[in-house]
Amino acid sequence: MKRITIKAVLEEYDTNKGYGRALLKAEPHIKELRSFYEDLKGDDLSPASLLRLAQILIGKNTRTDTSESGKAFEKLVSKLGGYTALDTLNASKQLTKDNVVFLEKHPQEATDLAPLIVSISKTTIASERQKVFSIAEKLKNPQELIAVFKELELMSHSENAYFFIHTLSLLNKHDVHSDEVMPLLKGTEEHIIIISQILETLAAKNPSLLTLPNLINILKMKQHHFDFHTVLKILPLDQKSLDILLRVNETYTLGQHYWLEDIVKNFEKAGWDLQLYLEDLLSGKTNGWAVRRVTAELMRLKLKPELLALILPAILTHSHESTELLDAVKILQKEDLKEGLDVAFLKIAIAIPKFSHRLAAALVTLQKAQCYNDATKVYVCLSPEHALGLAQFWIQYTNAGCVDASQRAAMLKRPQCAAYTAEVIEFLQKNNLHKEQNIIAVCKAKLTDKSLLQLLKLMQEAKILEQSSLDILLPQLSFIKTLYSGAQCLAYGGKLDAFNFDSLVSDPVNAVTLAENLGGKPYPSDDLSFLKNPGAQDFMTIRRNTKVLCQGYRQGLFSSGMSSEQKQDFATKRGKTVEETQKETLLKIAQYSGNQALEKETEHHVAEDTYVSFLKIR
């Protein structure tokens, strides 16, 4: 209110008061008002002055517009909302500076506002009440004042009134109108505390994000508010990243983002664009620990942009294979490949994430051997798990000068044999024994371990590695594990020579037994017993367990308890006697007690031979 307003009212009163009042004693309330006016400083009334004016106005007991003093007071009190509003506040001891100032701003609505102000004042402290007034005035449509104030009055009695008021005040500061927000906040009491915290974080990190559309989307969340807020505090925020977070918020839980902060730091340190990969990171499908570790390593690699653009999406999409993908890019980076070839190789490798490192190694191996072309690329990609072995096989088979192309195709049917076959071919080349008939025999042997390579090395040490030895060895490669075990026993006993070697090869299934009879040992010496030959160890284990089972058999532990008629019926139905079935079971138990260091046929033969010897049955 302006000081001049009071002056005008007093001047009008003086003009109209009449001659009698001029001669008589001044009307006491007018006198008090005039004294108040004369003491005013400045053109505008301060909140304290407005409160004092209100107190003067409601102090008039005779409120009638028939007297000039009554008219004067009516004009002034109407600018403060009227007697009813002021009396309502006064009766509840709520006639305060803030309350009077608020009514002075909204005199037309004061009668309706006053009881609401009284109600709000009962539950809020003065500082919060001032926020309520500010909230009520931040309206897109001023006609909604009473409706908004009624909602505020209801909120003030809520258990979480502070958070409702704080939320509205925060939004108002960023130009979001109360009448647009109030309908949205209905029914949010359960989540208003975390919603308030979310909005505070937005305001602190990027105030431009406190918009009505963003608020609407945040309020649409039905769950994961705490997780959303935790991730929100971690991310560098702009509208795009917030949109992504809002879009995926239903798909993740905090446990899936335990490592997210470290991942974000890695991206920031490396200068990578986080937004390009944010949706994958927040999908809830990534292995956070793996991505954290791998991105930290990628930073140190300082990859070319072309490689980085390929490997980062692959790691995030296939985080459970991130170690293999990282190994693939390491393999490619350390090789001096032709321009663009590293990118081409990486594209091929990441197409099969689980075996990407093996594909990368295979492609590099082919390139270094000058064997890389479309045919070899397709060849190794046909079995990614064994890609490196296939590459090595192709190279060694080519280097050996073999012309029988069918063996390359055949190796694709047993790719697990490729690496072992390649090692043997390379060894034969080094020792000038790579005749094509030797190579083809090795290819057909279906090698699944290093037994043949180790046997050839033993033969080399014993100076019996020559074509004549290979001529008798290669036809017996189906027993290569047994032959190697027997030869190693002979070597440990210093008994490996051409004659003894020929003896083993002539009866391969009994090679370990023959080696034992010829003075072989399962390990070099008592001090080195831990170097026991695995095949010899299996041989002894199966033989020992067979004897134990035979002892049990003799003692009746395998007795069926059947009558003669039942045994006859059993034999008729099964085509074998009870005793034959018991023998089969005993042998199977015994032969399966080894560790597959011998061929299955050898295991069965050892068990059966021991069984026959022990029970003297033929």
Digit-coded pLDDT (tens) for 178-195: 999 999 998 888 899 999
Residue 131 pLDDT > 60, yes or no? yes
| 610 or 480, which is more confident | 480
Q: For position 488, what pLDDT does the model report? A: 95
C-alpha distances in angstroms, 121 versus 50, 156, 192?
A: 19, 9, 22
Q: Residue 496 and residue 488: Cα distance in Å, rounded?
A: 8
pLDDT bracket for residue 225 (50, 70, 90): confident
- Length of the chain in terms of residues written: 618
Q: For position 143, what pLDDT does the model report? A: 93
pTM of the model: 0.75
* Sign, Cα dihedral of 282, 284, 287, 289: positive
What is the DSSP-derived secondary structure letter of residue 518?
A: T
Q: Residue 132 and residue 154: Cα distance in Å, rounded?
A: 12
Q: Which two tokens stand for residue 409?
A: 């195709």
Minimum mean pLDDT among 338-342, 386-390, 492-496, 526-530: which range? 526-530
pLDDT digits over 443-461, tens only?
999 999 999 999 999 999 9
Q: For position 250, what pLDDT does the model report? A: 65
Phi/psi of residue 306, nearest 5 degrees: -65, -40
Q: For position 188, what pLDDT does the model report? A: 87
pLDDT digits over 267-297, tens only?
999 999 999 998 888 887 888 899 999 999 9
* Sign, Cα dihedral of 535, 538, 542, 543: positive
**DSSP annotation string for 344-378:** HHHHHHHTSGGGHHHHHHHHHHHHHTT--SHHHHH
Residue 581 pLDDT > 90, yes or no? no
Residue 504 pLDDT > 50, yes or no? yes
Q: What is the mean pLDDT of the chain?
A: 90
Residue 254 pLDDT > 60, yes or no? no
Q: Residue 187 and residue 180: Cα distance in Å, rounded?
A: 15
Q: For position 201, what pLDDT does the model report? A: 96
Residue 30 pLDDT > 50, yes or no? yes
Nearest Cα to Cα of residue 81 among 120, 112, 46, 49: 112
Rg (CA), the chain: 48
pLDDT bracket for residue 227 (50, 70, 90): confident
pLDDT bracket for residue 572 (50, 70, 90): confident
Q: Strand pairing partners for 2?
A: 44
C-alpha distances in angstroms, 479 versus 104, 418, 554?
A: 107, 18, 33
Nearest Cα to Cα of residue 275 among 302, 228, 240: 240
Q: For position 24, what pLDDT does the model report? A: 60
pLDDT digits over 512-557, tens only?
999 999 999 988 866 555 567 899 999 999 999 989 888 887 776 6
**Contact present, 538 and 597 (Cβ < 8 Å):** yes
Q: What is the mean pLDDT of residues 487-495?
A: 95
Q: For position 125, what pLDDT does the model report? A: 79
Q: Residue 528 and residue 126: Cα distance in Å, rounded?
A: 89
pLDDT bracket for residue 568 (50, 70, 90): confident
Q: Which two tokens stand for residue 445?
A: 């042997």
**Contact present, 303 and 339 (Cβ < 8 Å):** no
Residue 618 pLDDT > 50, yes or no? no
Q: Residue 214 and residue 234: Cα distance in Å, rounded?
A: 18
